[in-house]
Structure formats: structure tokens, C-alpha cells
């Protein structure tokens, strides 16, 4: 059964202060059309700028996830996005008259309740799932963080946290079903921090809207009554603060024994929403945080963009082939007798591409190069590498179909052995540098495991219209 995209039936509004900026904000969820995605709209700014909730727009991950387009920013979007993703909403306008959503009680409950009140409705278009079919791993050795996505025809998350703190200890939590568990078991898990961090966060100009009513504060350091009073004054908290006996400031009771771990699940769901499409995968995470979550989301989104491009050009999926000859003809402007790459067998968008050129006795240039001693011209080997590199730039060029890749320079070209009929060229190209619309790449042509040719080259992107004008 095909799952349909979802939005809400009617607008709904929530108001309150932002936890970090301490500013008042009114936020309105509104229905959006199919394939619109999730977008934050700053209605308090001229032109009502829209900020799509995608990882490319992340500009800061200091104790929360901030997205921006130009000067328009929205701080701390992760709890809102967790609510949207957890309720499996695909298309939504989120209008704000301030820079940060209201924090509510520090969980996603405020937003979940509002969205349920607005009534979730199905649309006609099918959901655009990203199905993870290979292991994707993120590892940060210094901070001991690991996040892994494994193939699964569903969505599950397991998280482990360990802060070496007696009040918190090691915790883990696993979400197996968004439909059955998200609302009741995860959406109400509140944000948390350690008492030793609070003063540091205040000094960093953060948590201006922080209170024990919107965050769980774990006591990891003994403070005197005077120090606690000073802290309350800095945070503009009117009621007294005390250490308590249960390890939580003011003896606050946890909603779940592992509420901090559950909140980390909530944060990760919100940050994964920045991929821009729902996932089918099993996510395993050890000691995650916003920076790691966003970097992992960036890796997954790149995979999504590559798969989207593969579907656009490669109509029939073939084992071990990214793009076959027919797909290459859809991508490159070259035609017989100047198509010099037969298929693409590996592609990591913005990083590396591997192509294949089968050199046969039927190549037209062998008639004159050379009679009785057929050798593939070195310049055509370089051209084969250049054509392969054009495919590498697919994801780096907006509106690729209306642009051409022109080569500006070839450097350090070297030819190590002749290429003759019957050889198979393995064409490897890596992207070395990108500046605006100019790219530097390094290519290697390999035959039977031996280097046949190599070169560095620079290319520029030129719109087809400009190219046609210059030829007139």
C-alpha cells in the first residue's frame, strides 16, 4: 500500500518565549501543498523570507540547531521538527514573528498538541521515502560519538548516553514505532542540562528564557544558597532554587526514569528531519549531540540527493552500475563518435566518481592512430576523464540540465603506458576544490591495475544560453 503525504487541515497557533534568546514569539502552523516540505517563515521580516528545513541551511549547533537563509534565522528548531517528523507530516508552513520558537515545557508536547488540534490529513502525492540500503557511519573519535544507519524497511532509533555522572549514569532508549510510541513515550521528554553548565551557558548569552519549568537541571556540583540565588537572578527566576535530594534541581521529578535518553532520541529525530524526507532505516547512536546529528544528517541527505539523481537518469536499476550508457547520454551533451565513457560504477556526490571505458578495435581513431600499431590518443584519455568528471559535478550545479561544463586548464598530464584495443580503462576522478562555479579535479586512468595516465584539470560552469550567444 502506497503511503500518502500529509499536512494539517487548518492553522493553529502557539505562543511563548524562546529558551536561548528569551524573546517572545507567536508561531502558527499552516497547511502546505504537496511536495512543499517543511519551511519556517519569518513574518516579522520584510518579504516574509522562507527558510526550508534542510541541513544545508544549518548555521549553528550551539546547544541547539539554528537554520538561516541570508539574514533570516530561526534558533532551536529541533523540538518543532521532531514533532512534525514524529507525527509523519510532510508539508507544513511554520510562520513565526520572532527568532526562536516558544520552548513550552522543554519537550515537543506543545507542538504535538497543537498539530493534533489542527488535524492531520492525507494528500494525494505518495511519500518520498529514503530507503537506506547500505550502512552509513559517522564517527567522532575525540568525543566518542558514533551514529550508524542500517538497512531496515521501517524507522527505529536506539540511543545510548553516558555522562559519567552519578545523578544520570548510563542510559539508553529505543523507539520502535513512531505511530505507537512517539506521542506517549517521547514527545513529552524534556530538555536537560547539568548545573555546572548553567552559569557557562548564561555567560555565552544562551538560555535567557531558561527555567526549571522548561528544562531538567541535573545536579553535578554543590552550590551554596548564595550561589543559587545569584544564578536565579541571572536567569530572572522569581522562585528560590535548591539542590534537593534526588539529584535534580528543586527535586524535580523525571517523567521517565530515562527521560534524558528519551530527549536525546527526540533531538535526533528533529535533526534527522533536516534530511528533508522521511527515512526507512535503523539508527543506532552513542553519545549523540546536535553537531554530530547535523553532520550525520548531512551525510544522509547527500545520499538522498544522489539516489534522486540516479532515479532521474538511470531508468532501470542494474547491479554494480550507477549510470549505464543510456543514462550517460541523458547526462552528457556528447554524442558519437565522441562519447568516451561507457558506464559509471561508483559515485560519491561531490567527492569521487569511477567510470569505465571499454577500448575496442572499432574505435574510429584507430584507423589513423596508428596504422599497424593502434594506440589510443593520450588527449582522448584525458577527454574520457573529463567526461567522467562532468558526471561528478551533477550535484554541485543547480539546474544541471541548463548548464555546460567547460574545461579551463589541464595540468601535470602524464602518460605511463599505451592504451590499445581490448584494454578497459578505469576512470577515477576526485574533486579537489570548489570555488563558486569553478572546480579543480584530479583524474587517473588505470588499465589492469596499472596507471596509464593522470592529470589535474580545472572546469567552469557556463549556462547554455551564454554559451550559445558566444558562438554567434
SS3 assignment, position 282: strand
Q: Which three three-digit cell numbers place residue 395?
A: 550535484
In this structure, are residues 263 and 189 in contact, taking their beta carbons and an 8 Å threshold?
A: yes
pLDDT score of 440 more than 60: yes
DSSP letter for 127, please. P
State the chain's maximal CA–CA distance in angstroms.
96
Please give the pLDDT value at position 244.
Answer: 82
Give the integer Cα–Cα distance in Å for 125 and 6: 9
pLDDT score of 464 more than 80: no
Residues 188-205 pLDDT 10s? 999 999 998 887 888 787
Burial class (CB in 10 A: 0-12, 13-18, 19+), 140: middle
| Most confident range, picked from 240-254, 365-379, 392-406 | 365-379
> What are the catalytic residues?
290, 369
Please give the pLDDT value at position 100.
Answer: 98
Q: Domains of the chain (ranges plus CATH)? A: 4-124 (3.30.230.20), 136-309 (3.30.1700.10), 314-471 (3.10.129.10)
Mean pLDDT estimate for the chain? 93
Residues 217-270 pLDDT 10s? 999 888 899 989 988 888 888 889 999 888 899 999 999 999 999 999 999 999
CA distances to 149, 165, 299, 458 from 351, in Å: 20, 41, 12, 15
Among residues 151, 188, 207, 176, the alpha carbon closest in space to that of 266 is found at 188
Q: Would you place residue 394 in the very low, low, confident or very high pLDDT band (cuts 50, 70, 90)?
A: confident
DSSP letter for 349, please. T
- Mean pLDDT within 149-174: 91
In this structure, are residues 209 and 17 in contact, taking their beta carbons and an 8 Å threshold?
A: yes
Please give the pLDDT value at position 324.
Answer: 97
- DSSP per residue, 169-225: -EEEEEE--IIIIIIIIITTPPPEEEHHHHHHHHHTT--TT--TTS-EEE--S---H
- Mean pLDDT within 13-20: 96
Please give the pLDDT value at position 466.
Answer: 63
In this structure, are residues 28 and 13 in contact, taking their beta carbons and an 8 Å threshold?
A: yes
Residues 281-310 pLDDT 10s? 999 999 999 999 999 999 999 999 999 989
Please give the pLDDT value at position 211.
Answer: 87
Amino acid at each position: 500500500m502506497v503511503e500518502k503525504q500529509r499536512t494539517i487541515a487548518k492553522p493553529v497557533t502557539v505562543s511563548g518565549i524562546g529558551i536561548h534568546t528569551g524573546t517572545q514569539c507567536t508561531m502558527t502552523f499552516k497547511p502546505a501543498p504537496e511536495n512543499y516540505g517543511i519551511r519556517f517563515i519569518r513574518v516579522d521580516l520584510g518579504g516574509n523570507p522562507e527558510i526550508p528545513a534542510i541541513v544545508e541551511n544549518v548555521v549553528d549547533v550551539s546547544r541547539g540547531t539554528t537554520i538561516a537563509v541570508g539574514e533570516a534565522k530561526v534558533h532551536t528548531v529541533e523540538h518543532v521538527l521532531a514533532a512534525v517528523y514524529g507525527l509523519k507530516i510532510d508539508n507544513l508552513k511554520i510562520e513565526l514573528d520572532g527568532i526562536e520558537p516558544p520552548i513550552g515545557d522543554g519537550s515537543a508536547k506543545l507542538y504535538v498538541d497543537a498539530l493534533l488540534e489542527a488535524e492531520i490529513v492525507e494528500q494525494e502525492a505518495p511519500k518520498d521515502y529514503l530507503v537506506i540500503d547500505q550502512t552509513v557511519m559517522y564517527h567522532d573519535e575525540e568525543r566518542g560519538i558514533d551514529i550508524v544507519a542500517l538497512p531496515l524497511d521501517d524507522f527505529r532509533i536506539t540511543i545510548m548516553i553516558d555522562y559519567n555522572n552519578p545523578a544520570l549514569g548510563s542510559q539508553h532508549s529505543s523507539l520502535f514505532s513512531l505511530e505507537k510510541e512517539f506521542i506517549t513515550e517521547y514527545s513529552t521528554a524534556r530538555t536537560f542540562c547539568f548545573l555546572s553548565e548553567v552559569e557557562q551557558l548564561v555567560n555565552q548569552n544562551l538560555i535567557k528564557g531558561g527555567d526549571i519549568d522548561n528544562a531538567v537541571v541535573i545536579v553535578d556540583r554543590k552550590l551554596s544558597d548564595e550561589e543559587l540565588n545569584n544564578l536565579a537572578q541571572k536567569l530572572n527566576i522569581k522562585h528560590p532554587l535548591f539542590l534537593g535530594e534526588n539529584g535534580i534541581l528543586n527535586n524535580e521529578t523525571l517523567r521517565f526514569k530515562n527521560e534524558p535518553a528519551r530527549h536525546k532520541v527526540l533531538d535526533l529525530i528533529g535533526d534527522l528531519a533536516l534530511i528533508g524526507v522521511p527515512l526507512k532505516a535503523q539508527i543506532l547512536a552513542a553519545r549523540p549531540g546536535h553537531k554530530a546529528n547535523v553532520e550525520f544528517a548531512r551525510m544522509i541527505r547527500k545520499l538522498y540527493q544522489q539516489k534522486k539523481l540516479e532515479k532521474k537518469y538511470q531508468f532501470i536499476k542494474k547491479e554494480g552500475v550507477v549510470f549505464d550508457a543510456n543514462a550517460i547520454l541523458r547526462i552528457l551533451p556528447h554524442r558519437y563518435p565522441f562519447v568516451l565513457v561507457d558506464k559509471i560504477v561508483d559515485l560519491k556526490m561531490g567527492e569521487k566518481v569511477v567510470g569505465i571505458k571499454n577500448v575496442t578495435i572499432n574505435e574510429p581513431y584507430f584507423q589513423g592512430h596508428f596504422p599497424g600499431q593502434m594506440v589510443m590518443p593520450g588527449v582522448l584519455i584525458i577527454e574520457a576523464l573529463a567526461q567522467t568528471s562532468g558526471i561528478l559535478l551533477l550535484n554541485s550545479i543547480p539546474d544541471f540540465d541548463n548548464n555546460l561544463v567547460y574545461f579551463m586548464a589541464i595540468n601535470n598530464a602524464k602518460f605511463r603506458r599505451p592504451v590499445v584495443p581490448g584494454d578497459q580503462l578505469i576512470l577515477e576522478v576526485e574533486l579537489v576544490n570548489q570555488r563558486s562555479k569553478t572546480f579543480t579535479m584530479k583524474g587517473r586512468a588505470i588499465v589492469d591495475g596499472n596507471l596509464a595516465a593522470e592529470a589535474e584539470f580545472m572546469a567552469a560552469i557556463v549556462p547554455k544560453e551564454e554559451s550559445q550567444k558566444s558562438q554567434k
